[in-house]
Structure 1
Amino acid sequence: MFSFEVISQKQLFQYFVHEAAPPQIDLTVRLSHYGLVETPLQAVYGQLSANDVAEWYRKYGNNLFAQNIRNFLGLKSEVNTAIGKSLVESPANFWYFNNGLTILVEKMKKQAIGGADRSVGIFECSGVTVVNGAQTVGTIGRTLVGISEAALQARIIVVDDPNSSMGQLITRASNTQNRIDARNFVALDPQQERIRTELLVSGVNYEYREGETPVESADGFDFIEGIIALACASDEISFVALAKGYVGGLYADITETPYKALFNAGTSSKRLWALVLLGRRIDTYLRKNHDKSSPTVRGTVVHGNRFLMHCILKELEKIHPHDGGSTFTDQEVEASASSMLNKIDAVVQSDYSDAYLARLFKNVSKCTAIRAKVLQ
């Protein structure tokens, strides 16, 4: 027997949001030589067995780091290689060598066992996320074989909502003490998760957190490819120049422009994906069909690819807007790409014949001048 229920589009979207969210993790945590903090937030700190941490990772993997600014980066990084070496070669001293973990939980309750004795305590924790120490947890989980005497320090802080301002402040503060790139703090922007969830409903994989499997396929892309596409589609030549010369400058501060101009509540996930796909089509065509015998054409395709993309997108925009709902024919894309490359090449040969192209296309004022001529 089958039954049917009519649901709204909103209910269907909420279902996908729920399915896309990482599972809630509940752990029984055993700490030795622990201490308690009651205010302003409830917290506990103490020594944690590396054996327990290994079990966590083997069971939950990167879901443990759902609110962290990055996932486990693998065993080949310099830092993680050092962590693994000390774990294997000097397990008795691991506590002294390692910075430990910062864990946020939504709820925590101590088991009655042990009473007031602080030598050992067992804590029931729900809504667990490791906000600092992902590399330690991942390395232990991937390296540890058998039983180890290694221990590490851990602090567990109760925050009702890890996404709250306090949860994000703790995450940011505990990570700025380590070698962290500005790229990692993108994960703290709720717009990134919104875009990921909306795209997932459409079957598109979008990865914005460092450490996640890189995606550049027919059904997915990552943050870097996305922000470059948005920069090239913007009206700001300075954004285009950054996309070529210093892409990190686009997200150096996620609270300021240019990042906020590109990623905000008005950023359409549908449009973003459409721009990425259109950019790939343009890149593929230009790489295969440009005049390889011309030094300036060849140099423009290589060194001016972001500026060239920007001008082609602006030219195509005259046909219809890049709203994610319209598609361009191959003929439209190829005609615009070929025409724009020839126009830029003509201006470069006329006005900048002695210029070093790698620098030319990073120069905002000169790119502005070239754009004025080719898009008139």
Structure 2
Amino acid sequence: MVVDGRDDYGIDAVAIGQANPQLWLIQTKWNRNGQASIGVADALKMIEGLEKLDHQDYSPLNAKLQALAPRIKGVLDQEDARITLLIGLMGVQSLSTDVTRRLDEACARFNGFGPMLDYEVCLAPEIWGIVQAGITPPKVDLTVKMQEWFRRAYPFDSYSGSVPVGEVADWLDEHGDRLFEGNIRKSLGITRVNQSVVETLQVEPSRFFYYNNGITILCRGIEATPFARTSPHGPISLKLTDASVVNGAQTVSAALEAMKRDPATLEAAFVTVKVIATGRGADDIANQITKATNTQNHVERRDYVALDPVQSNIRDDFALTLQKTYTIKRGEIEPPPEAGCSVVHAAIALACAHHNSELAVRAKRDPDLLWEEGPAGAYRLLFHPQPSALQIWRSVLLLRAVRTTLHECRAQWEGRAGSIAEHGEFLIAHLVFQELGRDGVDNPEFEWEDVLAQAPEATQNAVRRLVNAVDSHYGTTSFITSTLGNPERFSFLAQEILADGRAGKPVPALPDSYIPRAPRQRTRRPNTVSILVDAGRIKEGTPLEFRPIGGPERQAIQSWLEGDSRRTQATWVNHRTKPLLWAVDGQRYSPTGLVQRIWATAGWKNAPIAVQGTAQWFLPGEGSLVGLAEAILRAEEQQPEAN
């Protein structure tokens, strides 16, 4: 989407990924002689634009950017979001050292936890290459060396067998994301899911074949050649035309990452590969296979939690002790808020309640991290030993109270403060839990309603302390997303704020710039026709002219208008509601009413419902009716007030 214009803060266009949480902020420079360049000021302005979006400070941005704010926020709220500053230069000189340094510094500041922000430069040759690739995307032809294979020839020719993981890595290294052209999503880079795949390849390469679900490739055709003609059932070479990996993109990207780290580890690693030749003109079946292989038999880490006897014990405890429902398995209908909770809500609440803020960090990054097993895994820390149903339920209630307060009070916090409140939700909950929610949480005699009653004030105080701490320690221009996603900073902020509370330090007030100002009362703009009549701007009987606006309107009615010159003519009458006397029928109309009458008579079936008629009727040589009225208003505003 093009957003170029005044107040674009160095952002000429915005692109948002359809399948993945990816945001591109684009700045372009044109030079007809092919010598375009970008200066330090241009780079800093673009970085400032990114800061505005990160801080949710949308008011200084132009209307086009503000219209995209909800979609941009939706991307930035994702824990695996990726942001690319894309600089397109119609030239051949790359960035200067000073510009590169400013962009590198911005990436370092923003990437407090993991690679979230990067930048790319496209010079004239690359831009032309992108244009050509967009017109005729090159096909991918693969050679697959398969062992221990079997073939199924009907209804589609297909081969399944084991393939060295190193060869799979070579595919991606050579062809890049074009390898996934038919997939429902591209590779997500090194995310939480395929990071575990990389670790398996490095630690247990010989067992990778048994752990991994495999890769599915669709192609137009297969040409099979045995390695040895005398051994037709031995290893085979498959030449695939127009191939695409439609399932297993994360496995492929993990293979390349593992190879880059240590190629030797892949020597013992194999993966199952299934190749299906759909032939030409079989897009429907190809789409069905792609969809099915990406949706069937999908298992998440949370699903294994249902096998732990602790969870069934908690479910029974909820039913017997509290007469409430506790759901464990994915797909179970979750109970209404007053009737119970799910294991997901329980895990997040326990993570925020835990004295170690690291668990709240994991919940913020990705709730799936709460299912990690092992001695240091979050799941063991949260559910072993088994917490009582009462402790879990009270923790869930307090977390809900914090979230409700944050939602209800969101309008009290402007820009950066509001963004900190949103991105710091679990840190705020952790602070409230440490202040209110640990004593008596497992004691049936303890009045928990008293704790819940204190939650709104404690939450608002935590927000004020957190905003002050972030700005004091990391500056008022620090990137909020990365600051609150960094475990070290998260932990430091938690300790600092809790220490201030224990020391009895007063809760700091928010700066005025973080508090919304009362909206200005705007007087309603007078009606255009009334302005003209009151000012006596147009004399009775003055001829006016109708002019179509925009290509679709001209295309639809121009020939009809030219059929009779009277159809574009009207006479002004000093009347507040119907000031136009149409030359065709001698009837009076409002400006909008006459435009709609013209459209209907001309037979324009796709005419819009709404129209500003005063913008289409003109006083020849002087302007439209609405333009004349605006000139009167401007003149009145410039007149000095009477003493």
Give the TM-score normalised by structure 1.
0.50
Relative CO higher for 1 or 2, CA cutoff 8 Å, sep ≥ 6? 1
